[in-house]
């Protein structure tokens, strides 16, 4: 899986060499350091991903370039939300797609040095990408991939996201305290104990006046779970969305549960195997657990 991910990321780097669309269009002119501002899907089946996410989330797509390894931009009502990069199908390998997100930082090279000094490693070296900004793809000490970016067009604004846009990020680690300390330094976060889950370490990462993500410790009885980031997209009707997931060839990994945001979140995979969270968020509803 790691080798396949690296192949896909290498193709993303190749596409980036020719320039990538900006992450805000029109430019926002604002930066929100510590925010997860961009999301790329690495997949063997770009056409299948377009069908799945187009029908499930209402995304529309534009291919930048003519060949099969061209970068695909996804938008919602004209707002850029994600990119898709193809990786080749390897012999005797199952499909293995994956989402990778980029965190906004002011100094990408300094962030990369801090990652390696703290036990992480560089997957794709820092590069200045025309239209996009300065980027690097890294792995944290647990081996989970993530990116850093200083966007030339600015970051998406801190407003309530629309249906089809990214709303939350959760990291699972066998040692949530160590993971929180690592990301605290990288993203300049305030780490807050999340006491809604007694008996299991949970933390919130806050920056610029907003909570940006949460970190959860993998229970000792579930150590087969891999350390990874999971990203959530806002949907209007979680039950209807899960029915669509199955109809479109995806899988439901974690069904809705009453104790989890009043039954308004679930975890799925797309047809290529990429995990994704879905969250039904009603700003007028009581969202207490």
Residue-wise pLDDT for 111-167, tens only, equals: 999 999 999 999 999 999 999 999 999 999 999 999 999 999 999 999 999 999 999
Distance CA 260, CA 289 (A): 6
Distance CA 178, CA 214 (A): 13
Which pLDDT does position 18 carry in this prediction? Answer: 56
Which pLDDT does position 287 carry in this prediction? Answer: 43
pLDDT per residue as tens digits for the range 190-213: 999 987 766 788 999 999 899 999
Q: Distance from first CA to last CA of the chain, Å, rounded?
A: 35
User: Mean per-residue pLDDT for 184-190?
Assistant: 93
Distance CA 239, CA 247 (A): 13
- Looking at the predicted structure, is the pLDDT value of residue 220 above 90? no
Name the class of domain 166-280: alpha beta
Distances from the Cα of 46 to the Cαs of 1, 13, 70, 90, in angstroms?
Answer: 18, 17, 10, 15
Tokens of 125: 């070296």
Q: Which comes out higher in pLDDT, residue 226 or 249?
A: 249
pTM attached to this predicted model: 0.90
- Looking at the predicted structure, is the pLDDT value of residue 7 above 50? no
User: Mean per-residue pLDDT for 23-37?
Assistant: 94
Which pLDDT does position 252 carry in this prediction? Answer: 97
Could you say which of 1.10.10.10, 3.10.180.10, 3.20.20.70, 3.20.20.80 is the CATH number of the domain covering 2-151? 3.10.180.10
Which pLDDT does position 200 carry in this prediction? Answer: 80
125 contact partners, CB below 8 Å, separation of at least 6: 136
pLDDT band at 16 (very low <50, low <70, confident <90, very high): low
Tokens of 265: 């979140």
Which pLDDT does position 261 carry in this prediction? Answer: 80
- Looking at the predicted structure, is the pLDDT value of residue 49 above 70? yes
Establish whether the linkage from the previous residue to 26 is cis, with ω within 30° of 0: yes
User: Mean per-residue pLDDT for 179-198?
Assistant: 89
Mean pLDDT over the full length of the chain: 88
Which pLDDT does position 282 carry in this prediction? Answer: 77
Distance CA 214, CA 205 (A): 6
Domains 2-151 and 166-280 share a fold: yes
pLDDT band at 283 (very low <50, low <70, confident <90, very high): low
DSSP string, 58-91: --EEEEESSSTT-EEEEEETTEEEEEEEE-PPPT
Cβ 228 vs Cβ 213: under 8 Å: no
Lowest mean pLDDT among 14-23, 136-145, 270-279: 14-23
Which pLDDT does position 93 carry in this prediction? Answer: 52
Which pLDDT does position 4 carry in this prediction? Answer: 45
- Looking at the predicted structure, is the pLDDT value of residue 1 above 60? no
Q: Enumerate the domain spans of the chain.
A: 2-151, 166-280
User: Mean per-residue pLDDT for 69-75?
Assistant: 88
């Amino acid at each position: 899986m790691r080798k396949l991910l690296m192949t896909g990321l290498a193709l993303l780097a190749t596409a980036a060499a020719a320039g990538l669309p900006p992450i805000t269009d029109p430019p926002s002119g604002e930066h929100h350091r510590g925010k997860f501002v961009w999301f790329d899907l690495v997949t063997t089946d770009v056409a299948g991903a377009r069908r799945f996410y187009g029908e499930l989330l209402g995304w529309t797509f534009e291919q930048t370039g003519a060949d099969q390894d061209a970068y695909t931009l996804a938008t919602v009502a004209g707002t850029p939300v994600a990119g898709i990069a193809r990786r080749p199908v390897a012999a005797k390998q199952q499909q293995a797609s994956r989402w990778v997100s980029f965190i906004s930082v002011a100094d990408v090279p300094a962030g990369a040095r801090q990652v390696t000094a703290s036990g992480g490693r560089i997957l794709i070296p820092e590069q200045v990408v025309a239209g996009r900004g300065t980027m690097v793809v890294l792995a944290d000490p647990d081996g989970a991939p993530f990116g850093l970016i200083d966007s030339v067009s600015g970051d998406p604004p801190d407003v309530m996201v629309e249906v089809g846009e990214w709303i939350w990020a959760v990291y699972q680690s066998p040692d949530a305290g160590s993971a929180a300390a690592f990301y605290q330094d990288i993203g300049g976060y305030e780490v807050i104990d999340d006491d809604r889950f007694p008996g299991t370490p949970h933390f919130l990462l806050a920056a610029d006046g907003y909570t940006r993500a949460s970190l959860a410790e993998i229970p000792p009885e579930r150590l087969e779970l891999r350390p990874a980031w999971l990203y959530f997209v806002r949907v209007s009707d979680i039950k209807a969305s899960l029915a669509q997931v199955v109809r479109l060839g995806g899988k439901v990994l974690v069904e809705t549960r009453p104790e989890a945001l009043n039954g308004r979140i679930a975890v799925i995979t797309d047809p290529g195997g990429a995990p994704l969270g879905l969250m039904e968020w009603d700003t007028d509803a009581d969202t207490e657990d």
